[in-house]
Amino acid sequence: MAYSEKLLDYFQNPRCVGEIPEAHAVAQVSNPVCGDVMKLWVKVEGGRIQDAKFKAQGCSAAIATSSYATELLIGMSVADARLITKEQIAEALGGLPTSKIHCSVLASEAIKEVLKGF
């Protein structure tokens, strides 16, 4: 399975890259098998995610899923953000090859981890 145009766009032009100096929460997750790492910063006010940024190290699918997931979070309620699944992330990017599903798992795990305190 080839990568979709949308996935390639998120890889080549990642959104929401960086750090939030005064973030309300930060989480880092990794996949020990492939070595992919994602760090996620969020700023939350009134139960809504006001800003989200990420840094990721990994393959093109890891960058794309991290970028998409982070962009998706902005403006979302914490309750709704907790419901984001790896399948939702993968499907929104036009699907992932079976060997790259772990990339959407990385993004969904980062979201769950960063929102634990809210």
What Å distances lie between residue 25 and 5, 42, 94, CA to CA? 32, 6, 30
Look up 34 and say whether it is catalytic: yes
Catalytic residue among 63, 103, 107, 111: 103
Catalytic residue among 17, 25, 26, 34: 34
Look up 59 and say whether it is catalytic: no
Residue 57, H or E segment: strand 48-57
Q: Is the Cβ–Cβ distance between 24 and 44 less than 8 Å?
A: yes
Number of H helices, E strands in the chain: 5, 3
Residues in the chain: 118
Hey, which residues are catalytic here? 34, 103
